[in-house]
Structure 1
């Protein structure tokens, strides 16, 4: 099973199918990063800069920064799914760059070429890393600022990357809009529903992360303890709840597009429902889209989802009041009789 779905990949947004005519026109060393130009037959060339950033405690985060054209523009951070890396988000990043955004992708701790232990979106680890990335964006001449040190920035991603978008909005007030997909609101409730241990899914998490030793010690100990007993304890629930968006639900006050899968036994629709209720209670605009796919398979509706995320950011990052963000609630029917 692949925890990285959906990747928001495929045909270009707004129905235009774009094919790359040329790639890797030139690669040179530029400061601490590698610069690459990628040409296309539809839109300006996308420039990508790869660099490794140190976020403290000896942890290195592998990043890519994508821009096209000139002038300042809003920024978007794209988070990958569990077991993936920044490379999974490259195509989406290039498309958003052509559509007028400065886009950053990164490999979370313990994945890709990034170092550090996997913390399941630890506020002091992965979430703090995102704030460091926002600090970096605030210093870039390509990025539009709301004020000094505060870039206009949105965050999107699926599954693990969707959760980091919610957590980033809860912990960093500089985040202006988010678009989480097929993700969790309360990880303890997702893995321990009614105190039933989802052993299969938990095992997939551990294996996708490269084994227990690649996780923070307290997470590894928690997994071994619960796997042996077959039932979660209060300490296990508390540990996962502390790393869940629900822990900072009252702080998430930015426009939120929630895309949740109908075929998902890992993060079912109830997670999205709780998410929407909490964020709406804070007074933020919230739209909900139930897609046909999910962690159990089905159609991820890639091109439609990508288009809707782009329109969401057009409305709330570019301030384009004519952007069609779609209905407040949408569901894709996968069968049935009228």
Structure 2
């Protein structure tokens, strides 16, 4: 495969670049009130020497009483966000008895170096900041924690696998597996990658290695696929799971159901591999939106649980967080919380929708079913419960395959990960499909429940093969009188597709291997 063929992708890149600038400017302006209120006694802006002597711009917020030692929390900044990001939370933590050191991740804003995306330099930076805090503040060397949103979350998890001093981590909207995040289904998550790349150029200095990786990734240079995967694995906490477990830090993972950069599935998989004290929380929203209000100092469930986590595992408070069921999820439909003993108990009941018959669709045209726009669509779902929609009866069957369940006589509580199993026969050796699960009301309007992409290469045209695809995990209630519909098409603005011009995809359901979508349901 060569570079993407579609000229509209150049327009998409420009659009996402503009979105990048808007988000970054919004973050800086939105945090300005916290920054203006912060300077004063107890707040210092400092330079810290990171890996190789690179200067990291940082700030320190500490209790005014310097007569004793305090637990310390280190906060690496999110991708493209300046060092004022955590000041509101840092002041709250300091007021409750913590030393807090936040630093601008290398390569961004005034910090030196280049953007390495959780590379060895970033991991060493985290340890250097801990060294500095222990030498220059009232930080207790036996009570070290790390936390962060997005990029800061990934760095915190990576550091926990390399620095035994870290006793507790709160990793919010982060990644366990970088490849399974923006390359799940072996499909490039176009808007996510373009947003990260554009924001990196706007606010920092991408390393030559990162520039090449993103060029190959967005340019569909499959000859470099193995190199890209190796690069991502080196930067995935999942790669260091044994060291993380051995070091024993208590780990809180928080994410949003609709995270279009780091989807929930990969975080749930990472959580299951942890043997340390652990907690997993999922809420409605998109990337980093579940934590956003807390960064402005407003009440926020995610940050409140983060404080409780540190209070127990760093301060030793008996606040009960260790005795609560460790998997805590919030329904997209009702906003109610549910708790489970482990991830596999979420959606423990499975109900299959048969995908009977043979359906052929043509490629290269967007049927109208899609996953929405990065950030915007899932923010609307988070605050207004308005997910992306499609009129399922009007979807053109030339370009979309549609299968529906029976009409449900009672409410269905979808929880966890829906799974598609089917037999696919392509007319070309490469191709991309995107599966969508819709909640379809009496008038045929479908509300998006979940979706996921799938790409294949090197297949024999005309030869059938099996496809198993996990849709992105969710918590959604389907009302009585509605149906669930599985829709499959081949073009979605969120992803880069690999369908040659004129290709067709045929879905069948052999008697000895029937096709279905498995729906995970909460036990009634």
TM-score over 0.5 for the pair: yes
Tell me which residue corresponds to 1:334: 332
1:187-266 mapped onto 2 (5 Å cutoff): 187-210=178-201, 214-229=205-220, 231=222, 233-252=225-244, 253-266=248-261
Tell me which residue corresponds to 1:65: 60
1:223-276 per-residue CA deviation (whole Å, 9 max, x = no partner) reads 112322354610011011101111211111211111111111221111111221
Change in CA separation of 1:138 and 1:298 when aligned onto 2, cut-off 3 Å: closer
Query: 2:277 matched to 1:285?
Result: yes
Query: TM-score by structure 1 length?
Result: 0.80
Change in CA separation of 1:62 and 1:323 when aligned onto 2, cut-off 3 Å: farther
User: Is residue 73–residue 144 contact of structure 1 (8 Å, CA) maintained in 2?
Assistant: yes
Change in CA separation of 1:197 and 1:191 when aligned onto 2, cut-off 3 Å: same
The offset of 1:211, in angstroms, is 5.8
Please, what is the CA RMSD of the aligned residues? 2.7
Runs of 4+ deviating beyond 6 Å: none
Higher percent of residues as strand: 2
1:198-230 per-residue CA deviation (whole Å, 9 max, x = no partner) reads 122111111111169921211211211232235
Count of aligned pairs: 297
User: Is residue 60–residue 102 contact of structure 2 (8 Å, CA) maintained in 1?
Assistant: yes
In the alignment, the residues of structure 2 paired with residue 327 and residue 105 of structure 1 have an alpha-carbon distance, to the nearest angstrom, of 31
In the alignment, the residues of structure 2 paired with residue 248 and residue 300 of structure 1 have an alpha-carbon distance, to the nearest angstrom, of 29
Partner of 2:315, secondary structure, is coil
In the alignment, the residues of structure 1 paired with residue 292 and residue 37 of structure 2 have an alpha-carbon distance, to the nearest angstrom, of 27
In the alignment, the residues of structure 2 paired with residue 120 and residue 188 of structure 1 have an alpha-carbon distance, to the nearest angstrom, of 12
In the alignment, the residues of structure 2 paired with residue 301 and residue 329 of structure 1 have an alpha-carbon distance, to the nearest angstrom, of 22
1:244-323 mapped onto 2 (5 Å cutoff): 244-252=236-244, 253-280=248-275, 284-295=276-287, 302=294, 303-323=300-320
Structure 1: runs of 5+ lacking an equivalent? 11-18, 25-35, 39-46, 147-151
Tell me which residue corresponds to 2:146: 155
Change in CA separation of 1:64 and 1:194 when aligned onto 2, cut-off 3 Å: same
Change in CA separation of 1:298 and 1:311 when aligned onto 2, cut-off 3 Å: closer
User: Is residue 293–residue 299 contact of structure 1 (8 Å, CA) maintained in 2?
Assistant: no
Larger Rg: 2
Structure 2: runs of 5+ lacking an equivalent? 1-18, 295-299, 334-476, 480-523
In the alignment, the residues of structure 1 paired with residue 232 and residue 210 of structure 2 have an alpha-carbon distance, to the nearest angstrom, of 9
